[in-house]
Structure 1
Amino acid sequence: MSDTQPSPTLAELVLQVRKTREYSRLTDAIPYARFMGIGVEHLAGEMLCRMTYTPKLIGNSFLPALHGGTLGALLECSAIFELLLQTETQRVPKVISLTVDFLRSGKAQDTFAKAFITRQGRRVANVRVEAWQDDRTRPIASANALFLLSEP
C-alpha cells in the first residue's frame, strides 16, 4: 500500500491556491505553462505572470526577438489565471475569441503580463491583458479576450 494521497482536482487546487497564494502549485500542475516557463507571482501587491526567458522562445534569431506565439501564449495564460483566481469558476475558462496586438519586438529576456477582467457575467467574461519587459508603460503586446465560464 502506498501512503501517497491522490492529486487534487483542478477545482480543489484552485481553491487552495486562492487561499494560500502559492501560485506555483497551480502553474506546476499545468504542463503547457511549465513548458513555456509561465508562472504567476505576487509582486508589488498585484498578481502578475512572468514568462522566464529561454532560447526556445526566440522566433527571429537575427534580432533576437521573441516568437509571437510565445507572447500570445503568455497573454492567454495570464487571462486564464486571472479568471481562475479572481472568479468563482470551477473549470478552466474556454477561449471564445482572442485578439492580440503586437506593439514592439520582445527582447531575449523575461516578460511580464497583467490581466484585467473588464466585464464578467454569469457565463462570459471579457479580459484585457498587457505584456511588457523593461518598462511597464511601454507594452510589447496586448490582448482582448472573451471567455466562456463554467457555472458556479
Structure 2
Amino acid sequence: MLELPAYARSLGITVCGEEAGMPLLTVEFGPTVEGRPQHFHGGATAGLLETAGYAALHAALKASGRDPQLKPINITVQYLAAGKSRPSFAIGRITRLGRRNANVAVEAWQDDRARPIATAVMNILMV
C-alpha cells in the first residue's frame, strides 16, 4: 500500500483505487480543504494534484525497480473550475520516464471525469 506524505494525510487525501497501475487519490470536502464557503481552496486542489503526480511516479519507479530521490523542477497548475463541496479525485499519468527526468500529467475532477476542475504538469528530477 502506498504511504502518502504527512501533508497529504493532513488534508485528508487517501488512495481509493488504482487505474492502469496508477494510484487513484481522493479527498473529501471539509474544513481542512475549504477556501471560500462551500468551495475547495486552490492550495488544497494543488496539493491533491501534486500528491497524485508523485504517487504515479512512485508507482512507475517501483514497478521498474528504481527508488531515486525526487526533486521538483517545475509544477504548473491550471485551475479550470471551482471545486465544490463534494469529494474530489485525481490521478497522474507518466508522459516521459527517463534516467534523470520524468514528466507527469495530472488531472482532478469531481462528479464527471470528462470535466476536470484542475490539471497539472510536473517536471521532476530523479537523483
Q: 1:77 and 2:51 equivalent? A: yes
Tell me which stretches of 4 or more aligned residues in structure 1 moved more than 3 Å: 43-46
The structure richer in strand per residue is 2
Higher relative contact order (CA 8 A, sep 6+): 2
Q: Give ranges in structure 1 of 5+ residues lacking alignment.
A: 1-21
Q: Is the 8 A contact 2:90 2:108 kept in 1?
A: yes
Q: Which has the higher helix share?
A: 1
Q: Secondary structure at the match of 1:42?
A: strand
Residue 38 of structure 1 deviates from its aligned partner by 1.1
User: What TM-score does the superposition give when structure 1 sets the normalisation length?
Assistant: 0.74
> Which runs of 5 or more structure 2 residues have no equivalent in the other structure?
none
Q: Which moved more, 1:92-101 or 1:113-122?
A: 92-101
Q: What does residue 35 of structure 1 align with?
A: 10
Which protein shows a greater Rg?
A: 1
Q: Which deviates further from its counterpart, 79-88 or 41-50?
A: 41-50
Change (3 A) 1:105 1:149: same
Corresponding residue of 2:114: 137
Q: Secondary structure at the match of 2:35?
A: strand
Alpha carbons 1:130, 1:139 under 8 Å: kept: yes
- Percent same amino acid among aligned pairs? 39
On the 8 A contact 1:83/1:89 being kept in 2, the answer is no
